[in-house]
Amino acid sequence: MTTSRAQWSSRLGFVLAAAGSAIGLGNLWKFPYITLENHGGAFVLVYLAAIAVVGAPIMAAEIILGRKSQLSPVGAFGLLARGRPGGARWRAVGYLGVLAGFVILSYYSVVAGWTIRYIVMAASGRLGELAHHPEALQGFFGAFLASPGEQVLCHSLFMAATVGVVYFGVGRGIERTARVLMPLLFAILFALVVYSIPTPGFGRAVVFLFRPSFAELTAGGVLEALGHSFFTLSLGMGAMLTYGSYMRRQDSIPHATLTICVLDTLIAIMACLIMYSIIFSFDLEVSKSSTILFTTIPVVFFKLPGGAIVSGLFYLLVAFAALTSTISLLEVVSSYTIDELGWGRRRASLTMGFAIWVFGVFSALSLGSVGSLSRINLIGRESTTGVFGTLDYLASNWFLPVGGLLIALFAGWVLTGRECRDELEGGHGGLGWSYGVWRFLIRFASPAAVGAIIVSVILGAEYQ
């Protein structure tokens, strides 16, 4: 077991970094979109129930594996499976997590890079000029996707920022960045919610989100809520396991898990209030495209007071959320080379960052052949063609759910009940009956739910 492993300086540092990993484009872009498609209130309630049954138990399991082993995913499974059923074969789960982090970051940074372009446009006034002519903005976005130079440049800038943070390590890089970006993210989001309150659509947005109508909820909507509850928390890719390996023994895993889940859900709800207030104020038709973040929302911003400032803050918010997620993805890959190959932190972050950047260039270039990005699994239900769409489909539909299922099975059936309880109660105190609830969920309910996601993929059901 590693004895000189870096650690978060406090529970707050871990919570902010882990919440940053969870909070990303899925909260600010995908959740508002799929909630709108599934008619609001009832879908939100099912989603909240799924967080409790699937998301939180598996997150706690990942953190348990990380803190108990003090290693990144491959080493964690190798150490903890030693002498148990399955033995060294469990290391494959760790490799799957590293592969998922590598693949997802390669195309996630392409989408995240778009925020850089829009921040610059908002600051220069160019976004305002285009927003006054919706057709022109639509045309610009299509041309932007089809421009290899711009796609590679934005991808490169975002990857450079990601590598720059991971390069400086857990304390000076990741935690310090999370302590700055996460409060800024919450402040910007809160300001945008306050800004949306006087809009004509705010009241309708609140009713839409919080008044359930189960008659409008379909079986596909239930599967979609179940799937998103899993993916929104960055589960199945080893990010929480890796971050958990830096967690101090005196910090509470149950408290941290609950806090991260609450923050992640709160951000998603706040994003919905902002988006829906705008959509309902102007009766926008958004059902045919999930690219409203870059084509429709800017048009509306500039119909409201202070549109130039608000639009800039909005894309800054999206960029911050995306960066805290890309940092965790690169850390999963870098920590593997540090623990398993003996590389230094600088070599690991630079080498793996460069490899992922190269891989991502192919995704960026593939958008030109698509010409338009109407839906991708990161945002909507369907995948695009080309490298970008293929990678997104594999990661979202196979790598993550399979990894999450195996993590749940390992924590529930391979680790002993005493091992799990000791880790959960360490730094927390006695759990009482709540431990039995978690144990039941991680052994039965969570694997069954994730298994349903995998079956839906096999059968071709559009849960995502």
Residue 371 has pLDDT above 50, yes or no: no
* C-beta separation of 63 from 241 below 8 A: yes
pTM, two decimals, is 0.94
> Residue 341 corresponds to which tokens in the numbers above?
């190959």
Torsional class of 83: left (φ above 0), alpha (ψ -120 to 50), beta (otherwise): left
Question: Domain locations in the chain?
Answer: 11-458
Q: Mean pLDDT of all residues in the chain?
A: 91
Total count of residues recorded for the chain: 464
Window from 157-171, 232-246, 288-302, 307-321 with minimum mean pLDDT: 288-302
> Residue 111 corresponds to which tokens in the numbers above?
């989408």
* C-beta separation of 88 from 78 below 8 A: yes
Tens of pLDDT, residue by residue over 387-410, are: 777 888 888 889 999 999 999 999
Residues ≥6 apart with Cβ < 8 Å to 71: 1, 2, 78, 79, 245, 339
Q: Tell the burial category of 386 from Cβ atoms under 10 Å away from its Cβ (0-12, 13-18, 19+).
A: middle
Nearest C-alpha neighbor of 260 from the set 234, 225, 238: 234
Q: How far apart are CA 39 and CA 215, in angstroms?
A: 10
pLDDT the model gives residue 369 = 54
Helix (H, G, I), strand (E, B) or coil at 393: helix
In the chain, DSSP finds a helix count (H) and a strand count (E) of 25, 0
Nearest C-alpha neighbor of 260 from the set 62, 453, 100, 410: 62
pLDDT the model gives residue 161 = 98
Dihedral angle sign, alpha carbons of residues 61, 67, 68, 73: positive
Of the chain, the percentage scoring pLDDT greater than 70 comes to 93
> Residue 411 corresponds to which tokens in the numbers above?
């924590």
Tens of pLDDT, residue by residue over 412-442, are: 999 999 999 999 999 999 999 999 999 999 9
In this prediction, residue 276 has a pLDDT band, given cuts at 50, 70 and 90, of: very high
pLDDT the model gives residue 283 = 79
pLDDT the model gives residue 290 = 54
Q: How far apart are CA 356 and CA 103, in angstroms?
A: 8
Q: How far apart are CA 413 and CA 399, in angstroms?
A: 21
State how far the alpha carbon of 409 is from the alpha carbons of 236, 237, 389, in Å: 12, 15, 29
In this prediction, residue 370 has a pLDDT band, given cuts at 50, 70 and 90, of: very low
Of the chain, the percentage scoring pLDDT greater than 90 comes to 76
pLDDT the model gives residue 293 = 83
Window from 25-34, 71-80, 438-447 with minimum mean pLDDT: 25-34
Q: How far apart are CA 198 and CA 273, in angstroms?
A: 12
Read off the pLDDT of each residue in 60-88 and give the average, rounded to a whole number: 96
Q: How far apart are CA 26 and CA 43, in angstroms?
A: 16
Instruction: List the Cα angle 151/356/180 in 5-degree steps.
Output: 80
pLDDT the model gives residue 382 = 46
Read off the pLDDT of each residue in 102-108 and give the average, rounded to a whole number: 95
Read off the pLDDT of each residue in 210-228 and give the average, rounded to a whole number: 91
CA 432 to chain centre: 32
Kindly report the number of other CB atoms within 10 A of residue 78's CB atom: 20
pLDDT the model gives residue 375 = 43
The CATH code for residues 11-458 is 1.20.1740
State how far the alpha carbon of 325 is from the alpha carbons of 16, 108, 109, 224, in Å: 11, 9, 10, 22
Q: How far apart are CA 60 and CA 252, in angstroms?
A: 10
Tens of pLDDT, residue by residue over 245-267, are: 999 999 999 999 999 999 999 99
Q: How far apart are CA 279 and CA 208, in angstroms?
A: 12
Stronger pLDDT, 299 or 411, i.e. the higher one: 411
> Residue 451 corresponds to which tokens in the numbers above?
């298994």
Residue 107 has pLDDT above 80, yes or no: yes
Q: How far apart are CA 334 and CA 438, in angstroms?
A: 31
Tens of pLDDT, residue by residue over 342-359, are: 999 999 999 999 999 999
Q: How far apart are CA 276 and CA 205, in angstroms?
A: 5
| DSSP-assigned states of every residue in 181-198 | HHHHHHHHHHHHHHHHTT
Window from 167-171, 196-200, 316-320, 381-385 with minimum mean pLDDT: 381-385
Tens of pLDDT, residue by residue over 125-183, are: 999 999 988 889 989 998 998 899 999 999 999 999 999 999 999 999 999 999 999 99
pLDDT the model gives residue 379 = 44
In this prediction, residue 190 has a pLDDT band, given cuts at 50, 70 and 90, of: very high
